[in-house]
Structure 1
Amino acid sequence: MPAPGRQIALADLDLAQFIRAGDSIVWGQSAAEPLSLMQAYVAQRHRFARTCVFLGIGGSATLQPEHADAIDMTGYAAGGSHRTLGMAGVLDPVPCHYSQIPLLIASRSIAVDVVFVQVSPPNDAGECSLGLAHDYMAAAMRSARCVIAEVNVDVPWVHGATLRLDKVDAWVQSDQPVVDVPAGKSGDAETAIARHIASRIEDGATLQLGIGNLPDAVLQALHGHRNLGLHSGTIGDRVADLAEAGVITNTHKGIDAGVSVTGLLMGTARTRRWAHRNPALRIASTDYTHSARVLGQINKLVAINAAIEVDLTGQINAEVVAGQYLGAVGGAMDFLRAAAISPGGLPIVALPATARGQSRIVARLSGPVSTPRADAGLIVTEHGVADLRGLSLSGRMQAMLAIAAPEHRDTLSASARQYFA
């Protein structure tokens, strides 16, 4: 094995010097994918016999189903480009709360032998920033036998997590553009849902945002608000817009005054420019961003998450579509529970009422219960808001029918009578 801290040219990178047969490998997710290291690993995969990767949200199309000929693929999510792996049946999901991943890694319930981490160029003190993802990467590096860094000038230097190149086993220089994750586009349904949600959010509230078009639409609808805070697992371009517009100030959140906190940056060059050396932004590990102890200190926490389907009693499926694993348990329950007990908080799950002509408000879920009905709060579609807090089963059914698509309400009502007869 080369001496620690040695730079290796990509053309000379021989991963067999670092990876052993049977090793489990972790790399950053979404925009934090170290593309050059991933590409080398895929190209050289037959040199290690079988190895395993633990995946998060996919950013690039580097990993494909045919690579299962030498790679076992597990992960907490089948999101982003990894939906292809889920649909092909080669991704074996680990159904865990996002907040538990660092603990599962530390206990080796999720094994980590080798880490590929993408970092910024070093600052004057010789410290690189993890830049686009802290989340569970620090926990993975602490547990790994070997850490290989990919230094990319496109990665911003973001406060919260640093790494010195003389402390890693090897590093490479890459000039590949970082994966862009553009803000979602809003249709009529998303715009209507965003208006419903924005009307419920008070000035001074602190936001947590899930992934997808709906959270982005909500952020666009908040430009008239004031003194909002941000404590979220992920952020992107719409957060940068609100921060630079003076809407997000973090002055009333209760902790981390004046600072937006996130674990993962999922945006474009617009987000990266805003994030670079920004003292009003900090990346943090999952055991801080999703910690019940931390979340309990936040004022007016508004958790906004999406779902695949919700039944008439408030049970939420965020994992499976038509028998295929395409989502994740994720961090929704951590934030929904925290928002439910936060003074002035709002636990919100939002979804369009239909998809491809089928109702997403259902009498019976077609997949697992990702969030139980006891943790459901406000369910929002383009047809309105169903506030399920404190409602009986019959009250919930009536509230949910009122936000279902009108053309599906009679069928849903009849199915509900049979289901609960």
Structure 2
Amino acid sequence: MDLNSQYLAKRKTPAEVLASIQDGDYIFSAQSSSAPVTLIEEMPLLRQWGRKNLVFNSCGPNYDHAWFHDPAMRDTVEHVSWFFSPPVRKACQEGLCGFLPGDTTSLVRKTMDRARWEGRRPVLLATAAPLDAQGNFTLSVSTLFERDLINAGALVLLEVSSKHPRICGDTLIPLSRVTAFTETDRPVPAGNPGKAKPVDQKIAARVAELIPDGSTLQLGVGHLPNAVAVELRNRKHLGIHSGVFGYAMLELIRSGAVDNSQKGFMDGFSICSSVSGGQDLFDFVDDNHSVLFRAGTFTNNPRIIAKNRNMVSLNSTLEIDLTGQSAGESMGFRQFSASGAQPETIQGAQFSPGGKSILALPSAYEAKTADGKRVLQSKIVTSFRPGTVVTSSRTLVDYVVTEYGTACLRGLSIPRRVEALIAIAHPEFREQLRQDAKKYGLLY
């Protein structure tokens, strides 16, 4: 059968694509902006068809599908998620989604083990860019775990969109490897980075002091990394090795600060596993051979990260305790996001020659009380509230930055760590933190 005949045979309606799913399948949705929205929206058809005992694994979905909140779907599919975004946080509160903890370099392997032990067939639902002349689709905007699932033999069902960029790197999916696909013109969901707040700008200025010329960067997305990029525009010979390619990276490339010339590993290329932002970002990575997408098992592997010279990882966190533990994913028992690659990038950066890792956070935040009043709360705490997950242990945490200063915890005893962290806490809470530290034996 020639290429065109294969193409026509595998091109189907969304319902026909979903008909390939069988009882007991373990369904992986591509992450975030690369999730196939049209296919996922039609998944209630599986209930109508009487499918049973399915697992659906999402990862930070952008769209809030109605069936996420439909108790009637529980008899058809168990919804679990590797990374919580607002839609799945809401579903979790409704008792309709469970969190699946893990790190980005082992999640696929461990979850595939579980699927195999339970006799489940793995299925990948993903969005792809259109077929090229050589007969390949291209993974679009993410290779975080999608590449590994394809390599591991998952059944591949695609939503092929003419509006998705064709990214470069380890991204090709041969038509022969695809069971079925449907065509759409749905654009990539765009994220709005928003405007940096004054506190972000203060923190960014302090973070930038820790990043010399020639550093290789891992930055996330959001207000703070974007503010850091502004501070680094006049640096020279920076490099990129980062899980996410966001607006901060684009800013640094356009300013000339990034040329990837001194990384010492994969020089000349920006390395990432996903892209998050708006259309200008998607246009930039489209067919751009200087930006290479690799699986998270590569990009976020501490041993791979450590091959870069002067690696600097920047991560945010929700809270830090006085011994240096990072709580970056939950607030008490409420799951907010996930560990992501924080522990792995922290380790990889510190293994790198001349490397360092940075956790950055505002010193305080406003919380609403039961009677509706807003009160200031410290993000540097004596101890975490019950149920809070430790994302990175105190043995890993290196530099901590707030708008009030920088605490380098490397090589410090507990009493000296306590002093260093109190010094960068919000002034309103420093005395209470000191009293608590003495009460619990953290300070003499």
Alignment TM-score, normalising by the size of structure 2: 0.89
The CA distance in 1 between the partners of 2:222 and 2:71, in whole Å, is 28
Match of 1:159 in 2: 168
Match of 1:97 in 2: 103
The CA distance in 1 between the partners of 2:87 and 2:258, in whole Å, is 30
> Structure 1 residues 31 and 112, CA, compared in 2 at 3 Å: closer, same or farther?
farther
**Are positions 1:69 and 2:72 aligned together?**
yes
The CA distance in 1 between the partners of 2:17 and 2:182, in whole Å, is 12
SS in 2 for 1:140: helix
> Structure 1 residues 328 and 190, CA, compared in 2 at 3 Å: closer, same or farther?
same
- Which residue of the other structure, out of 127, 131, 134, is the alignment partner of 2:136? 127
Deviation of residue 89 (structure 1)? Answer: 4.0
Match of 1:371 in 2: 392
Structure possessing the higher radius of gyration over alpha carbons: 2
- Which residue of the other structure, out of 281, 284, 287, is the alignment partner of 2:291? 281
Alignment TM-score, normalising by the size of structure 1: 0.93
The CA distance in 1 between the partners of 2:93 and 2:344, in whole Å, is 27
Match of 1:49 in 2: 52
The CA distance in 2 between the partners of 1:238 and 1:43, in whole Å, is 41
The CA distance in 2 between the partners of 1:375 and 1:68, in whole Å, is 41
Spell out the pairing of 1:238-317 with structure 2 (5 A cutoff).
238-317=248-327
> Structure 1 residues 145 and 96, CA, compared in 2 at 3 Å: closer, same or farther?
closer
Letter in 2 for 1:271: L
The CA distance in 1 between the partners of 2:440 and 2:95, in whole Å, is 31
Spell out the pairing of 1:161-176 with structure 2 (5 A cutoff).
161-176=171-186
Q: Which string of whole-angstrom CA distances, capped at 9 and with x for unpartnered residues, describes residues 97-136 of structure 1?
A: 1111232245346866211111111223222211211111
Spell out the pairing of 1:22-421 with structure 2 (5 A cutoff).
22-42=24-44, 44-47=46-49, 48-62=51-65, 65-70=68-73, 71-79=77-85, 81-108=87-114, 113-160=122-169, 161-356=171-366, 357-366=376-385, 367-420=388-441
Deviation of residue 340 (structure 1)? Answer: 1.5
> Structure 1 residues 64 and 395, CA, compared in 2 at 3 Å: closer, same or farther?
farther
Deviation of residue 26 (structure 1)? Answer: 0.7
Deviation of residue 81 (structure 1)? Answer: 3.9
Q: Compute the RMSD of aligned alpha carbons.
A: 2.1
Identity of aligned residues (%): 27
Q: Which string of whole-angstrom CA distances, capped at 9 and with x for unpartnered residues, describes residues 46-96 of structure 1?
A: 432342111212222226542353231212221354332344343322221
Whose RCO is larger (CA < 8 A, sep 6+)? 1
Contact 1:129 1:157 in 2 (8 A): yes
Contact 1:159 1:279 in 2 (8 A): yes
The CA distance in 2 between the partners of 1:323 and 1:361, in whole Å, is 18
Structure 1: any 5+ residue segments left out of the alignment?
none
Contact 1:4 1:170 in 2 (8 A): no
SS in 1 for 2:134: coil
Q: Which string of whole-angstrom CA distances, capped at 9 and with x for unpartnered residues, describes residues 152-177 of structure 1?
A: 11211111110122321101101112
